[in-house]
Amino acid sequence: MFPLKSSRWSRMLTSTGGPYEAEVRDDAVSVRMGWVGHADVPIERIARVWTRKWPWWAGMGVRIAKGMVVFAPAPGEGVVLETDEPITVHCPMEWKTSRVLVVARDPSAFAEAVAARRAGIDPGEAA
């Protein structure tokens, strides 16, 4: 489990319920931000993984941005999961996208776990 990043401003989002986390499973990366949004990104569909900064002025929460859906309860470094074809995410309505940005508390560890799962390695063994 990878908690999403939080800040003092994230408290405004707490009425959306929990959890605020990302999980790297065998079949998918699952991202949850309460009832506001969630995404299940199939591991086999992930074509690229890279980091990108999410600025404070772009807003917090689940956002639809240029070419991506963003899960950012706080600004900061995030991990982009780019798929080889559009997937459906919930933000809170259904939306098709090929890029999901996840602002995890530890973006490096999250990106490494996703990369390891894509390579067929158990993320626990990669550490």
Q: Dihedral through CA 9, CA 12, CA 17, CA 20, nearest 10?
A: -20
Whether 66 shows a pLDDT value over 70: the answer reads yes
Largest CA distance in the chain: 38
Which has the higher per-residue pLDDT, 59 or 127? 59
Structure tokens, 87: 């997937």
| Domain ranges within the chain, ordered by starting residue | 2-122
Q: Percent of the chain, pLDDT > 90?
A: 65
Which residues make beta-bridge pairs with 3?
21
Which residues make beta-bridge pairs with 70?
63, 101
Q: Are 95 and 64 in contact (CB under 8 A)?
A: yes
| CA–CA distances in Å: residue 46 to residues 33, 80, 85 | 21, 10, 9
Q: State the average pLDDT over residues 104-123.
A: 90
DSSP state of 127: -
List pLDDT tens digits, range 33-49: 988 899 999 999 999 99
List pLDDT tens digits, range 3-40: 898 766 555 555 556 778 999 999 999 999 988 899 99
